[in-house]
Amino acid sequence: TMINLLYRFYDPQKGKVTIDGYDLKKVKKKSLRGQMAIVLQDPFLFVGSIKDNIRYGRLHASDEEIIKVSKD
């Protein structure tokens, strides 16, 4: 996929991958990967209730806050 090429998990067998005209092969992998992030689109629920899963990112959220964000 494109992500594999952008992160240089694989280098292209033909041609080159560039960003703003700059060949990614000239960038150190550690530096390149430190400048990008991957956000996977696979949903994941932890063991527990839906409320617990919503609260996971903010452990001290009140029940009212959780209800509000679940409606948004």
Binned at pLDDT 50, 70 and 90, residue 72 comes out as: confident
pLDDT 10s digits, 16-64: 999 999 999 999 999 999 998 888 788 777 888 889 888 888 899 999 9
CA R_g for the chain: 20
Q: Which of 33, 1, 6, 30 is nearest to 18 (CA)?
A: 6
pTM for the model stands at 0.51
Dihedral pair phi/psi, residue 18, rounded to 5°: -130, 150
Output the pLDDT for position 26. 94
Which pLDDT band holds residue 11 (cuts at 50, 70, 90)? very high
Which whole number is the average pLDDT over 61-71?
Answer: 92
Maximum Cα interatomic distance, the chain, rounded to a whole number of Å: 56
